[in-house]
Amino acid sequence: MNPGITNILYALGVLGVLGALFGLLLGIASRVFHVDVDERIEKITEALPGANCGGCGYAGCSGYAEAIVKDGVATNLCTSGGQKAAAAIAEIMGVEAAEVVPMIAFVHCSGGNNADKKYQYSGLTDCFSVSNSTGGGPLTCQYGCLGYGSCVAACKFDAIHIVNGVAKVDRNKCTGCSMCSKTCPKHIIEMVPVTAHILVPCRNQDKGGVIRKFCMSGCIGCRACERNCPNGAITVVNNVAHVDTAKCKHCMTCVLNCPRKLVKDI
């Protein structure tokens, strides 16, 4: 036989033997390192909305699904999926469906273009960069919305936008995932029950005489709302009014008595 052909056949034979050997080793390794995956994890992941927003506190829908199955985490933490997802997950896990309390984001600021600025800022246009590089931002009010849209970028549902220099939430689109709240460096976006309608869009803590000088929309802490509320649902703490949504009966007394028309029926 031609030596060249012999060499080729020999090489092919060696490759064949090596291929078979590697295949055998891979087969053995797959058995040795095989990890059983609970099929419930996949089913729960499919029942979730797939937004991977992190509102449940876990790294995406698959992370939450795994935590439910392996760690017994509550089945009603997905606000984006709501009651439908909670019911589907409960059925998969063979437990009673827990109630999902629908939440919505609310921005505690109405300043924006109504608030004075210490200077005109020119540079990176995201709230974290502005806040960190300018000592809190260009607003005279150190508690106000910076208006550079880090919350807008974080929202996967197009539910928050900058309007007249301040973040505004679209209640019809907000799923309560809380990503905007977690993103805001000023911590002025709060998650509240969707049933909450009487709210105060301000987080200023300066005294009334000070806030009057630089914001036409800020709470002056006059306590008119607190004095007139028949349910004790609104109190002034650190010069700004806060609403206890559990106590509020939506009687509108605080709205009608606010001299700055700041307490809102959202």
DSSP letters for 111-159: -GGGB-BSS---S--SHHHHHHHTTS-SBSSTTS---S-HHHHH-SSS-
Q: Taking the domain 102-194, which CATH number applies?
A: 3.30.70.20
103 close to 79: Cβ distance less than 8 angstroms: yes
Q: For residue 200, what pLDDT is reported?
A: 97
Q: What is the pLDDT of residues 111-157, one digit of tens each?
A: 888 889 888 877 777 898 888 877 778 888 989 999 999 999 999 89
**What's the helix, strand, coil split of the chain in %, to 5?**
40, 15, 50
How many other CB atoms are found less than 10 A from the CB of residue 171?
13
Same fold: 39-93 with 102-194: no
Distance (Å) of CA 67 to CA 43, 70, 162, 182, 208: 13, 5, 35, 21, 48
**If pLDDT is split at 50, 70 and 90, which confidence band does 170 have?**
very high
Q: Report pLDDT digits (tens) over 53-104.
A: 888 888 889 999 999 999 999 999 998 898 999 999 999 999 999 898 889 9
pLDDT, mean of residues 237-243: 95
**Beta strand pairing call for 160-163 and 103-107:** unpaired
Strand-strand pairing, 160-163 and 198-199: unpaired
Domain ranges of the chain: 39-93, 102-194, 197-266
Q: Among positive and negative, which fits the CA dihedral 138, 139, 141, 145?
A: negative
Output the six-digit token pair for 163. Answer: 């309007």
User: 199-210, pLDDT tens digit by residue?
Assistant: 999 999 999 999
- Which CATH number is correct for 197-266, 3.40.50.20, 3.40.630.10, 3.30.559.10, 3.30.70.20? 3.30.70.20
The answer to whether the predicted template modeling score (pTM) of the entire model surpasses 0.85 is no
Residue 14 has pLDDT above 80, yes or no: no
Reported as a pLDDT band with limits 50, 70 and 90, residue 42 is: very high
Least confident of 36-40, 47-51, 238-242: 36-40
* Residue 48 DSSP label: S
**188 close to 142: Cβ distance less than 8 angstroms:** no
Q: Please name the fold of domain 39-93.
A: 3-methyladenine DNA Glycosylase II; Chain A, domain 3 (1.10.15)
